Homo-oligomer: A and B are copies of this chain.
Amino acid sequence: MGRRREDGAGHRPNGTPSPQPRRRPTIQDLARAAATSPSTASRALSGNGYVAADVRARVLEAAERIGYVPDINARTLRNRRSRAVGVLISDLRNPFYANLAAVIEQQLRSAGYHVIVVNNDGEQHAEVEGARTFLAVRVSAAIITPVSDRAVHMLMDDGVPVVQADRMVDGLTTDGVLVDNVQGARRITDHLIGLGHTRIALLIDETGWTTGAGRLAGYRAALRDAGLPMDPDLVVPTRFQPDTAREAVTALLDRRPDVTALFAANNRLAEGAFQALQEGGHRMPDDISLVAFDDVPWMSMVSPGITTVDQHTDDLGRACAQLVVDRIAGGAAGHMTVRYIEPSIVLRGSTAPPRTSPATPVHPDPGPAAAAPSA
């Protein structure tokens, strides 16, 4: 068990084997091993330019033999373009984003790109920092679920193609893939209306992005088209955190016991809403119906299952990857494209006709049970 040679083979304890790490074979070494020149070796590997068949074979064999791995940094420096794509995502802990990231990574990997992932945690600061990183590594494109337009613009200004995913903060100047939020929200609200619900509350955390704005618009459109009154008191603002949502729902049902259906605008809010209903002893769907935007695994595990809008996250991710690949290949050619994913409704057990008669007077009486303050 003597000392290992510095350039020896075999597994050394965790990396950094010696004061100075073993020099990795360069294309020079490869050329030497294949008895040719670096440029020929380069051509043989990349497929650009002419190389005699036997020489190419020799180079490939030698590369395999000496374990040559091209240095992407050198290549990027030289070519001024990389095979890296930056992915700036809000929160990997949220299954929606995790899925999105997974699909994007998978697609881009199979297209020969690798992915640099930055979580922005919903914070502009982190987002901008992420964009800087992307610029610094010369990514050839970026996919962003934007928090603000800062990052998007930073990248565009330096000529980096951007795809905005799930929402757009700047609809004019980049490609994007969006879910048809208006349609999804409208259809799931229609579903409730069709069951006979007339007092449907919307639990929503933001209306400043295309997502929240669209969902609110769809909800309103459905009510309007059905000739139902639009009661502002039933649009319940909340923070993004499930806990806050839970409290908001509890307060709502306290204040407005006449509500027969609840629409949570995303999966996190649905979590809070579901908990609030369970804790409050409101039975779904008997006492109240619950629907959500964005289908995530727990919604099909609970009883009753949650009726929800499936955003087809896989399609969303695939479309993002595709746009990125096209844009890289096509350069600036062509106008910006914004793709819409058509969501679908998944019916589960959390929705049913309201217990009381669906026929409601035009000026509904809140019911004798609660003395709702008129605030």
Residue numbers of A with Cβ under 8 A of B are 9-19, 21-22, 24, 67, 69-74, 76-77, 80, 82, 84, 91-93, 95, 98-99, 101-102, 105-106, 109, 114-119, 121, 126, 129, 132-133, 135-138, 141, 153, 155-162, 170, 173-175, 271, 274-275, 278, 297-298, 301-303, 327, 331-332, 335-336
Instruction: Among A102, A129, A335, find the residue whose CB has the most chain B CB atoms closer than 10 A.
Output: A102
Q: Are B106 and A98 in contact (CB under 8 A)?
A: no
Cα-based distance from A158 to B24 in the complex (angstroms): 7
Closest chain B residue to A109, Cβ basis = B118
Which of B24, B129, B135, B332 is in CB contact (< 8 Å) with A13? B332
Not counting A14-B173, A71-B138, A115-B118, a sample of 16 additional A-B residue pairs whose C-beta atoms are within 8 angstroms of each other reads A9-B157, A11-B173, A12-B156, A13-B173, A15-B161, A15-B174, A15-B327, A16-B327, A72-B136, A72-B138, A73-B77, A271-B297, A275-B301, A278-B303, A298-B298, A301-B301
Nearest 4 pairs of A and B residues by beta carbon: A15-B161, A298-B298, A92-B102, A98-B98
Taking the closest CB of chain B, its distance from the CB of A87, in whole angstroms, is 8
The answer to whether B73 touches A82, judged by C-beta atoms less than 8 angstroms apart, is yes
With beta carbons under 8 angstroms apart, the residue of B74, B116, B160, B278 that contacts A77 is B74
A190 to B362, CA, bound (A): 61
CB distance from A303 to the nearest CB of B (A): 7
Cβ of B102 and Cβ of A93 under 8 Å apart? Answer: yes
List residues of chain B with CB within 8 A of the CB of A114. Answer: 116, 118, 133, 137
Task: Select from chain B the residue with minimum beta-carbon distance to A76.
Answer: B73
Q: Can you list 8 pairs linking A and B with CB atoms under 8 Å apart? A: A11-B153, A14-B156, A14-B336, A15-B159, A15-B162, A71-B136, A92-B102, A95-B98
Quick check: A174 and B73 within 8 Å, CB to CB?
no
A121 / chain B contacts, CB cutoff of 8 Å:
106
Do A332 and B105 form a contact, CB below 8 Å, given A298-B302, A301-B302? Answer: no
Give the CA-CA distance A74 to B78 in the complex, in Å. 9
Q: How many protomers of this protein does the assembly include?
A: 2
Find out whether the CB atom of B82 lies under 8 angstroms from the CB atom of A14.
Answer: no
User: Taking A95-B95, A138-B73 as contacts, is the C-beta distance between A17 and B105 under 8 angstroms?
Assistant: no
A141 — which chain B residues lie within 8 A by C-beta? 15
Task: Identify which of B117, B156, B160, B303 contacts A117 (C-beta below 8 A).
Answer: B117
The interface residues of chain B lying within 8 Å CB-to-CB of A109 are 118-119, 126, 129
Could you tell me if A301 and B173 are in contact, using CB atoms closer than 8 angstroms? Answer: no
Contact of A101 among B92, B155, B173, B332 (CB under 8 A): B92
Smallest CB–CB gap between A161 and chain B, Å? 4
A79 → B minimal CB distance (Å): 10
Which residues of the other chain, B, contact A19 by a CB distance below 8 angstroms?
331
- State how many angstroms separate the Cβ of A285 from the closest Cβ of chain B: 15
Q: Compute how far the CA of A162 lies from the CA of B119 in the bound complex, rounded to whole angstroms.
A: 23
Q: Chain B residues near A301 (CB, 8 Å)?
A: 271, 274-275, 298, 301-302
A14 and B327 form a contact (CB under 8 A): yes
- A102 to B275, alpha carbons, bound, how many Å? 25
Q: Is the CB of A161 within 8 A of B16?
A: yes
Q: Which residues of chain B are within 8 angstroms of A137 by Cβ–Cβ distance? A: 72-73, 84, 114
